[in-house]
Copies of this chain bind each other. A is one copy, B any other.
Amino acid sequence: MIVEDDKIISNELKKLLDNNGYETSTLKDYKNALEEIINEKPDLILLDINIPFINGEVLLQSLRKKSNIPVIMVTSINSEIDEALSISYGADDYITKPYNPNILLLRIGAVLKRTKTNYGSIQTELTYKDLKFDIQKGIIKKDNNEIELTKNEMIIFSYLLNHQNKIVTRDELMTALWDNSEYVNENALTVNISRLRNKLKEIGYPDVIDTRKGMGYILL
């Protein structure tokens, strides 16, 4: 979606993108821009900083409260402050007019690539050594093998994976697993670790969760 008040530039951009395999739509002013955007859910927005009535940065700020749709700021003002501000407001990239069409296309490609796993969708696969961890289905795959993790095992494995090679205390894991409002046996964690270890062993990783007595666990 192109948000740009200058019709000439807008058409130029549209033509460029249409010719390169993108579907485009255009908005000429800020009026209802937010609704239009939310409604249409474009994959990416090219946002002119100087669209009439409202500054593009204000629009970006409001948009960011509702959505993570990627935004590339387009501006004629080649000011470093604006560039930095765009980024801190949540723009995904920034380009100045006059723009080099090829650069613009590359940047669009890069932003889409960078954000496609995140925008609106859930990152489902995480890698640990040669294992693929599908958090959505709760399974770990290795070549042809595949083991299923239960919810608790998933939470523990995710947590360890997010802190790989760092020691994770038992308390941290307890908090990740259970609201500290509800009381559970201290040993419940130990049992769940044990179960996770067994499953990892099944798939050929017997000793990856190491005990650091008195400190916690570490995923190697």
Residues of A with Cβ closer than 8 Å to B? 41, 80, 83-84, 87-88, 92-93, 100, 102-103, 106-107, 109-110, 114, 117-118, 120-123, 126, 135-138, 151, 154-155, 158, 161-162, 164-165
Contact = CB atoms under 8 A, between A and B. Distances in A.
Nearest to A154: B136
Contacts of A155: 136-137
A70 to B, nearest CB: 10
18 contacts: A41-B164, A80-B100, A80-B103, A84-B103, A84-B106, A87-B110, A92-B114, A117-B118, A120-B164, A122-B123, A122-B126, A122-B162, A123-B123, A135-B136, A136-B154, A136-B155, A136-B158, A151-B151
Nearest to A103: B84
A28 to B, nearest CB: 24
Contacts of A164: 41, 120
A136 to B, nearest CB: 6
A6 B88 CA distance: 29
A102 B120 contact: no
Contacts of A151: 137-138, 151
A106 B88 contact: yes
B123 A118 contact: yes
